[in-house]
Structure 1
Amino acid sequence: MASFPSSSSSSSSSSWIKWFRENYAAPLESVQQLLSGSYVVLVFLLALFIGALKAVVVGPIAGLLLIIGNIGVIIGLFPAHVAWTVYSLIKTKLINAALKFAFLLALPVIFGLWLALSIFGSVLVGVGYGFFTPWVSTFEAFRKDTDKEKFLHSIKDGTWGTIRGSCTVVRDFADFCIHSYPLYLKELRESTGEQSHYSIRITEVPACIVVGLMGLIVDVPLYTAIAIIKSPYLLLKGWQRLLHDLISGEGPFLETACIPIAGLVILLWPLFVIGSILMAIISSIFIGLYGAVVVYQERSFKRGVAYVIAVVAEFDEYTNDWLYLREGTILPKPRYRKKKPSNSSELSVGANSVKGKGNSGPFDAPAMLVPSLAPSRSVREVIQEVKMVQIWEELMMSPEMRGKELVDANILTSEILSEWLKTKGNSHDIVGLGLSSYALLHSLVFSVNSGSTGILLSNGVELTHLNRPQDRLLDWFFHPVMVLKEQIRVIKMSSDELRFLEKLVLFTGNIPSIHDLECGSLVPQDALRSAQIQAISRRLVGMTRSISKFPTYRRRYRQVIKVLLCYSLGRECPQGMPISHSNRLNKSNRSNRSGSSVEIVPADV
């Protein structure tokens, strides 16, 4: 039994503190940990109840809005999609007549799959988004600072925002169907076929059709069987990994604020497993049809059949690696490529690289959505990453800043901006492509002049290979943008050449428009330098055109143009005059603006 310190001691207070620490500090810490754990469990149960209640109330409304909206867009535009596709295939010069005939034969199957999978996907997304978004929003609310904020946000978050979000999803999907897909078809029609022309002999068409059908008959059932057989392993391995992180306090359980969400992941892990099975089934359809492409590429029916057999073995081997089962596969794996591609020696799986032992399939990984079972990174390990939302905000903020400069220079007027908005962006490339390309050029020049090794954002954050988001979509653009930045740095343009590049980008390569804006020839006298600058301009505009096809970008970009229109009207309208009268003022000053000479200032650093 602990003895009390003597009261006659000269340092009685110090002795009492030392005695208290030795005898009661450890028990108090245990009690504190117990109370902390009880608080986390209470928060989890409360969030689970509130989230479930909101999901039952809000989920059906948001889900029905998304499902009905998307299916309405799909069915309503289906005749137009068929007509646009057939017309584009007939008009394009990129493929020969035999390949056009093969595509036209395959169109009924492709459009049938589009109808079935898009409607099924809309129902699945509608149910998942409508019911789980309120739940997740409730758990996110408990990461606020004060208890009052936690309670208020747990009730409010995920209600009206979920309903608005479902409408936004429908709008973005409609933008893709109405705007992006016709743009892809327009590029197909306008392609000359000079750089890469695809052709096939008419005798090879039956072999492609047979192998494509064989892929559907063989690969879809086998992929489904493998996914279902291995799903119990995925369920148990996932729970094992999450529970290990829970007990050891690693990964998502390292931060106390993230524990409720991580607990929700444990409860919903069976749904992730079901989603993996569905993704495997859906992906197997396209992987089976890819056998027809292998026949075309290899000019061999035999190699197409070998592909149909080999991809099943690759899928089995891939899932074995993910689930830490036996290495390799017992299924036959015939060779279906004459020459192994140079980039197929390694198969990137998550953060690790697994040596490939056979031929690579049509995709980087044979198409089963298997959630990562590797040890999770903690919140602190990813805190230095530049988030996708930061890059997305930069893509919107930079055109707005540069657009206001162009409005001040009388290059962008309210008539041009309002006409672009009224015509759904089908006119004035200076607004749709030129402005965003011009903003991207300024960002690259700013990064070059600052000596940055990556891309320097307007908020001072430097985006490099080390801190960029690990996102496949960003990978498609980050490396080309870095190459373009290096090309701009290497050629070391003068101020006149940079000014010419800015105008060339702004007017999307339309040299006559540049001459109309400013008298005199702006083209550099050196033919080589002129060709280099125009090549950079084409790449910039091409990248912007690719980004503009993303539906979310289109919606956000229209908001930017509306902001610029309000800014232009406010600038053109004198003080005290209502903005409604600005159109008459614009008409009276139109002739003066059209004849003025404008100088675009190079990118400042």
Structure 2
Amino acid sequence: MEFPVGFMPKLWSFISFLPFFFLLLILGLLKATIICPFAVAIIVIGNSAVIIGLWVAHVLWTYYCVARTKRFGMVLKTLMLICLPVPLFLGPIVGIVGSLLGGIGYGFFSPLLATFEAVGSGVVDKFYHCMMDGCWPTIERSCMVVQDFTNFCFHSYFSYMDELRENLPPDEKPLDVKLSLLPSCLLVIIIGVPIDVMLITSIAIWKSPYMLFRGWKRLLEDLIGREGPFLETMCVPFAGLAITLWPLAVVGAVIAASISSLFLGLYSGVIVHQEDSMKMGFAYIVAVVSLFDEYVNDLLYLREGSCLPRPRYCRKMTMTHTHERKNSGESNGNDMKYKREAKPIHEWKSLEHNDMNDMKYRRDGPQNLRFISQQTRTLKEKLQLYKPVQVWDWLFKSCEINGRILLRDGLISVKDIEECLMKDNSKTLTIKLPAWTLLQCLLTSAKSNSDGLVISDDTELTSMNKPRDKVFEWFYGPLLIMKEQLKNLEWKETEEVCLKGLVIRCKNEIPEEWDSSGFPSNDNVRRAQLQAIIRRLQGIVVSLSRIPTFRRRFRNVVKHLYVEALHASASGSHVGGNLIPKNSGNYLIQSTHVDLDKSSSNVNHRACQDENMV
């Protein structure tokens, strides 16, 4: 292990920073002690009131939807109705306890971390920000947590339950339980749970020393090389604390492995029912231990694969695991073939080079860990990985710009905005406006022959810089498929102009609905393809609308649009083809004067934004 150039000056900088760090720590703890009780009170009281107030409605509506659903067979439906009282009665307790723990964690750490962030580079008047940052914003965000939780309980939960009552597609069968397989499932579970718990816990305990010493080695390398958590001076004390508390993390990992082994053993009963074979269930009991061992080896950079046997427990299971590919001798060829089919020809050599580096890294182990981490950090800096919140911000900013354009073109009216603000049920705005925004993004990406999604003039989301988030992947993949479908349709400019009104005004259920719309193409197959894409986009928006923050942020967009409509009416201009009376919306201003006053100060600035952002 070599000391990097300039290590001694950095060490002196760290030592001289310690007194300043302890002063900031004392200030942060003082602020956290004052702010935490208020944040906890807001979150616990607000969430508890929502949970208790809506509990009866949740119980009744859940039983009604489960009883009326056609997605489950009679046996499974009966079992669910019998077992529902357990989660329905435990739900309020879990929600209140979770609100208490979450409120304590957020109310304490938010002011503490904000105190250290205030001394970062680029912050003006650091003394003021050290004193004030994390105080009032923590209180405001605590109120937002209650608001988002209310939206989830009042809107998203009922939306999920309503989805259960929808009719099944003709080619889909209801999910049910075969009573004849229950004895076999119970037998396999009784045998599998003790075996998996014992073996998986033993593997976790056996390899915990490796995790302990390899973790210490990595943290010490980062400390000397000023990498990872030791990159910023203000984070060094916290990272040093991580070295001291690393044994607790190892113990927590062993406990987590032991708890997860219980559920892995229970899943053997699902395998028996799914494969209709007790033999497959017993094979899963053995295979899951090998899978866990391979996962631990990859996590700790030990030998590839696992020496434990892994029988085939699924009839349709593909040979995708590392040791299976290794045994078959086709690992490198199959992987390279797959990547070549998914990438252009000019990227084959770079993929081969990356694969060779990855193989070398796995073979050499962690002795080159420091150099690989340097290359990874440099690569991330060049790629500028985007965060999910940045894409989330783009969606609502684009909805505001497109809403302004639709108002100007008369495709949505002020009445739609008023219904969305007062009744909160305007499908035109809540579903169709984001759907049109996503469709416009897909059209722009298709016309530019982009490998990903073009979300602005200078921003493109690709597989390299997109957010590394599982929830984002659920939406990113289908959007790419729809983009390729649109690219194959060979668009005309007149069709794109006409499509804007069709998305907003039509239900898009049958091709004949577009007969009197002026759409240039009379091909019913083409119309059906476009309508299918529009319906899928609306389905994606429905799923997005169930995210708690969606409703709050979309209402802010609608308020901005309403403020601009009021300003336009004050000047006597036409918005959306209708002259707005000057006294219209006074009741809305009285009920939302705080948000609207904040919004009105940014109206002129927002009006100057580029309408071609998307």
| TM-score, scaled to structure 2 | 0.74
Pairing 1:268-417 to 2, within 5 Å after superposition: 276=253, 287=264, 289-301=266-278, 303-304=280-281, 307=284, 310-311=287-288, 314-324=291-301, 335-341=312-318, 380-383=378-381, 384-417=384-417
Residues 501 and 537, structure 1, Cα contact 8 Å, conserved in 2:
no
Give 1:256 deviation, angstroms. Answer: 4.5
Aligned-partner Cα distance in 1 for 2:295–2:302: 10
Cα distance change on mapping 1:54 and 1:604 into 2, 3 Å: closer
Structure 1, unaligned stretches of length 5 or more?
A: 1-28, 348-353, 356-372, 587-601
Cα distance change on mapping 1:469 and 1:212 into 2, 3 Å: same
Pairing 1:211-226 to 2, within 5 Å after superposition: none
> 1:421 is matched with which residue?
421
Aligned-partner Cα distance in 2 for 1:305–1:109: 30
> 2:145 is matched with which residue?
169
Letter of the 2:79 counterpart:
A
> 1:581 is matched with which residue?
583
> 1:433 is matched with which residue?
431
The partner residue of 1:137 within 114, 139, 155 is 114
The partner residue of 1:543 within 535, 540, 543 is 540
Q: Which region of structure 1 is more displaced relative to structure 2, 467-476 or 72-81?
A: 72-81
Letter of the 2:38 counterpart:
I
Give 1:548 deviation, angstroms. Answer: 1.6
Aligned-partner Cα distance in 2 for 1:388–1:48: 30
The partner residue of 1:467 within 465, 478, 502 is 465
Q: Percent identity?
A: 41
Over residues 199-225 of structure 1, what are the superposed CA-to-partner deviations in whole Å (9 max), with x where a residue is unaligned? 443333565567678877776788778
Residues 48 and 135, structure 1, Cα contact 8 Å, conserved in 2:
yes
Cα distance change on mapping 1:274 and 1:472 into 2, 3 Å: farther
Residues 508 and 541, structure 1, Cα contact 8 Å, conserved in 2:
no
Residues 208 and 254, structure 2, Cα contact 8 Å, conserved in 1:
yes
> 1:87 is matched with which residue?
64
Cα distance change on mapping 1:501 and 1:185 into 2, 3 Å: farther
Correspondence 1:60 to 2:58: no
Give 1:536 deviation, angstroms. Answer: 1.6
Cα distance change on mapping 1:414 and 1:277 into 2, 3 Å: farther
Structure 2, unaligned stretches of length 5 or more?
A: 1-5, 325-330, 333-365, 574-578, 589-610
Residues 404 and 561, structure 2, Cα contact 8 Å, conserved in 1:
yes
Letter of the 2:540 counterpart:
M
Letter of the 2:387 counterpart:
K
Residues 209 and 292, structure 1, Cα contact 8 Å, conserved in 2:
yes
Letter of the 1:544 counterpart:
V
> 1:15 is matched with which residue?
none
Give 1:120 deviation, angstroms. Answer: 4.7
The partner residue of 1:245 within 209, 222, 230 is 222
Task: Name the SS of the counterpart of 2:84 in structure 1.
Answer: helix
> 2:160 is matched with which residue?
184
Correspondence 1:534 to 2:531: yes
> 2:549 is matched with which residue?
552
Aligned-partner Cα distance in 1 for 2:295–2:459: 37
Residues 435 and 506, structure 1, Cα contact 8 Å, conserved in 2:
yes
Letter of the 1:438 counterpart:
W
Q: Which region of structure 1 is more displaced relative to structure 2, 554-563 or 519-528?
A: 519-528
Aligned-partner Cα distance in 2 for 1:216–1:64: 42
Give 1:394 deviation, angstroms. Answer: 0.5
Residues 398 and 439, structure 1, Cα contact 8 Å, conserved in 2:
yes
Over residues 292-326 of structure 1, what are the superposed CA-to-partner deviations in whole Å (9 max), with x where a residue is unaligned? 43233112355446545654554354334423567
Letter of the 1:168 counterpart:
M
Residues 307 and 334, structure 1, Cα contact 8 Å, conserved in 2:
yes
Aligned-partner Cα distance in 1 for 2:214–2:138: 32
Give 1:564 deviation, angstroms. Answer: 1.4
Cα distance change on mapping 1:118 and 1:309 into 2, 3 Å: farther
Aligned-partner Cα distance in 2 for 1:215–1:114: 29
Task: Name the SS of the counterpart of 1:462 in structure 2.
Answer: strand
Over residues 442-461 of structure 1, what are the superposed CA-to-partner deviations in whole Å (9 max), with x where a residue is unaligned? 12222333343322222512
Task: Name the SS of the counterpart of 2:165 in structure 1.
Answer: helix
Correspondence 1:151 to 2:127: yes
> 2:14 is matched with which residue?
37
Give 1:392 deviation, angstroms. Answer: 1.5
Q: Which region of structure 1 is more displaced relative to structure 2, 386-395 or 34-43?
A: 34-43
Over residues 271-290 of structure 1, what are the superposed CA-to-partner deviations in whole Å (9 max), with x where a residue is unaligned? 76676567657756654554
Cα distance change on mapping 1:33 and 1:288 into 2, 3 Å: closer
Residues 116 and 234, structure 2, Cα contact 8 Å, conserved in 1:
no
Correspondence 1:524 to 2:521: yes
Residues 435 and 537, structure 2, Cα contact 8 Å, conserved in 1:
yes
Task: Name the SS of the counterpart of 2:125 in structure 1.
Answer: helix
Letter of the 1:39 counterpart:
S
Give 1:433 deviation, angstroms. Answer: 0.6
Aligned-partner Cα distance in 2 for 1:185–1:56: 41
Letter of the 1:479 counterpart:
G
Residues 506 and 513, structure 2, Cα contact 8 Å, conserved in 1:
no
- Cα RMSD for the two superposed structures: 4.2
Give 1:403 deviation, angstroms. Answer: 0.3
For these two proteins, the number of residue pairs brought into alignment is 535
Aligned-partner Cα distance in 1 for 2:8–2:281: 67
Give 1:391 deviation, angstroms. Answer: 1.1
Correspondence 1:480 to 2:478: yes
> 1:566 is matched with which residue?
563
Task: Name the SS of the counterpart of 2:522 in structure 1.
Answer: coil
> 2:104 is matched with which residue?
127
Give 1:230 deviation, angstroms. Answer: 6.4
Over residues 89-132 of structure 1, what are the superposed CA-to-partner deviations in whole Å (9 max), with x where a residue is unaligned? 22222232223223334434544664565455434333322222
Task: Name the SS of the counterpart of 1:582 in structure 2.
Answer: coil
Cα distance change on mapping 1:226 and 1:503 into 2, 3 Å: farther
Over residues 364-418 of structure 1, what are the superposed CA-to-partner deviations in whole Å (9 max), with x where a residue is unaligned? xxxxxxxxx9765676543322233321210110000000111112222222112
Give 1:512 deviation, angstroms. Answer: 9.7
Residues 119 and 126, structure 2, Cα contact 8 Å, conserved in 1:
yes
Residues 505 and 541, structure 1, Cα contact 8 Å, conserved in 2:
no
Cα distance change on mapping 1:452 and 1:254 into 2, 3 Å: same
> 1:9 is matched with which residue?
none
Over residues 348-373 of structure 1, what are the superposed CA-to-partner deviations in whole Å (9 max), with x where a residue is unaligned? xxxxxx99xxxxxxxxxxxxxxxxx9
Task: Name the SS of the counterpart of 2:583 in structure 1.
Answer: helix
Give 1:560 deviation, angstroms. Answer: 0.9
Aligned-partner Cα distance in 2 for 1:122–1:323: 35
| TM-score, scaled to structure 1 | 0.75
Task: Name the SS of the counterpart of 1:196 in structure 2.
Answer: coil
Over residues 554-599 of structure 1, what are the superposed CA-to-partner deviations in whole Å (9 max), with x where a residue is unaligned? 2211211111122223323445999871259x9xxxxxxxxxxxxx
Correspondence 1:50 to 2:50: no
Cα distance change on mapping 1:240 and 1:66 into 2, 3 Å: farther
Aligned-partner Cα distance in 2 for 1:494–1:502: 13
Residues 388 and 469, structure 1, Cα contact 8 Å, conserved in 2:
yes
Cα distance change on mapping 1:562 and 1:205 into 2, 3 Å: farther
